[in-house]
Amino acid sequence: MRGSVVSVPGPGRLRQPHLPRAAGARPVVAGPLALAAAMASGLAALVHVSVVGPHLEESRLFAGALGAMAVAQAGWALLVLASPSPSVARAGAALNGAIVLVWGLSRTSGLPVGPHPWTPEAAGVLDLTATGSEAVAVYGALALARAGGTPGRAHRGARRVLLRAGAVLTVSGLGAALLPHPALHSPGVCCEPHLVGHLAAFVGMLTTLTGLLLVGLERPAGRRGALDPAPDRAANAGARERRSS
Amino acid sequence: MIAAAPQVLQNPCCEFINRLPWGFFLVVHIALFAVAVFLAYRSFEVGGQGLGWGFSLFALAEAMYATYHVNVTQFLFAHTVAEVLDGLAFVVLFAAAVGRAGVRGAERALGAA
């Protein structure tokens, strides 16, 4: 008896407008994933713009390179929002990935050009922020390229990226905040590890919450479960009507 | 100002709490946050939107507590906002749970009829 009541299709199941996409229409990939990648690339561009001035006195080559990176990153951020195709996404991953590589070289072996060739530079809060944003942009762009033009896949990709990145950031930030860092503590070279850990954990929590928001806003058709009363109410009302007629 | 409020005791109870390391509170908030995110995710996955949003509000409250740890907000402000969010979360959770119980009761009544 109960099974027959619950199996009656309620009004909620009637609204599933899975209409075929019109021929020639461009797939809509833009959404949370493209927005996240564009914002990350845009943030890195802002950081690069902010340090062009200080680098002008040291090296015009570096200042020019930083300006060019900022223009490319900001341009890609606009492009991926306007035309979020897989090839544009791959280009953004390559661009931001190459900048991360150059930054890694400059902080480890040093760059072969500039006023101090092959001399590693110290890491700071600003360049760590830019590199973190670029890493997020690379991850988001690759996930966007892999989604390949399906909005549902892109949406799921976005929430997966956010939930996983949030969990990794929160756990690693908590670890960095709690573990002792006698050898790593070197004010002036970089930021204090406990503070970085706290910030990473906090940003991780916010990232996780954003992913959770996407999960909550997405409501796949046919995924209503026993915890949701709406379809059961509709089903019960339908069963009552049939019984009385 | 809270300091200007009437003070009953000169040495109020439970001073031990001030001797706990800050890491303890951070661990507690992140552990509760993880539990809330897990329950919200599971609720959303099975279509329980009410429970999902309730647990999400609880997770947001835990993130609000963390703003004090990163020195973005004052201690009292962070705890006040977080407690308001906790209150909202409990209202949403109770409403969702009561709604769910009502539906089950109706199902049972229909099944018995």
B52 to A205: CB separation less than 8 angstroms, yes or no: no
Who among B63, B69, B110 is closest to A5 (CB)?
A: B110
Write down the pLDDT at residue A20: 41
Closest CA to A211 of A32, A21, A6, A44: A32
- Residue B60 above 90 pLDDT? yes
Mean pLDDT throughout A19-45? 65
CB contact B46 to A (< 8 Å): yes
Give φ, ψ of B33 to 5 degrees: -60, -45
The larger pLDDT score, comparing residue A164 to residue A20, is at A164
Cα–Cα dist A74/A47, whole Å: 11
Q: What is the distance in angstroms between the Cα of A25 and the nearest Cα belonging to chain B?
A: 31
Who among B44, B99, B111 is closest to A216 (CB)?
A: B44
Write down the pLDDT at residue A10: 37
What's the length of chain A? 245
8 A C-beta contact, residue A202 and residue B66: yes
Q: Which of chain A's residues have a Cβ under 8 Å away from the Cβ of B44?
A: 212, 215-216
Please write the tens of the pLDDT for every residue from A50-67. 888 888 888 889 999 999
Who among A201, A232, A239 is closest to B103 (CB)?
A: A232
Tokens of B45: 């996955």
Q: Which of chain B's residues have a Cβ under 8 Å away from the Cβ of A225?
A: 45-48
Q: Which of chain B's residues have a Cβ under 8 Å away from the Cβ of A2?
A: 107, 110-111
Q: How confident is the model at residue B95 (pLDDT cuts 50, 70, 90)?
A: very high
Write down the pLDDT at residue B91: 96
Please write the tens of the pLDDT for every residue from A79-110. 888 788 889 999 999 999 999 999 988 888 88
Most confident of the ranges A26-30, A40-44, A82-86: A40-44
CB contact B54 to A (< 8 Å): no
Mean pLDDT throughout A132-139? 88
Torsion on CA atoms A160, A162, A166, A172, rounded to nearest 10: 80
Q: What does the DSSP 8-state code read for residue A122?
A: P
A215 to B60: CB separation less than 8 angstroms, yes or no: no
Mean pLDDT throughout A180-189? 49
8 A C-beta contact, residue B107 and residue B94: no
Type of residue found at A30: A
Cα–Cα dist B91/B1, whole Å: 29
- Residue A49 above 90 pLDDT? no
SS3 A197: helix
Disruptive mutation site among A179, A213, A228, A244 for chain B (greatest number of B CBs within 10 Å) = A228
Cα–Cα dist A18/B84, whole Å: 40
The larger pLDDT score, comparing residue B22 to residue A29, is at B22
Q: Which of chain B's residues have a Cβ under 8 Å away from the Cβ of A209?
A: 37, 56, 59-60, 63
**Residue A204: closest CA among chain B residues belongs to which residue?**
B63
Cα–Cα dist B45/A231, whole Å: 16
Percent of chain A, pLDDT > 70? 68
> How many pairs of residues across A and B have Cβ atoms under 8 Å apart?
106
Who among B23, B60, B107 is closest to A178 (CB)?
A: B23
CA atoms A194, A198, A200, A201: torsion sign = positive
pTM as predicted: 0.57
SS3 A69: helix
A201 to B30: CB separation less than 8 angstroms, yes or no: yes
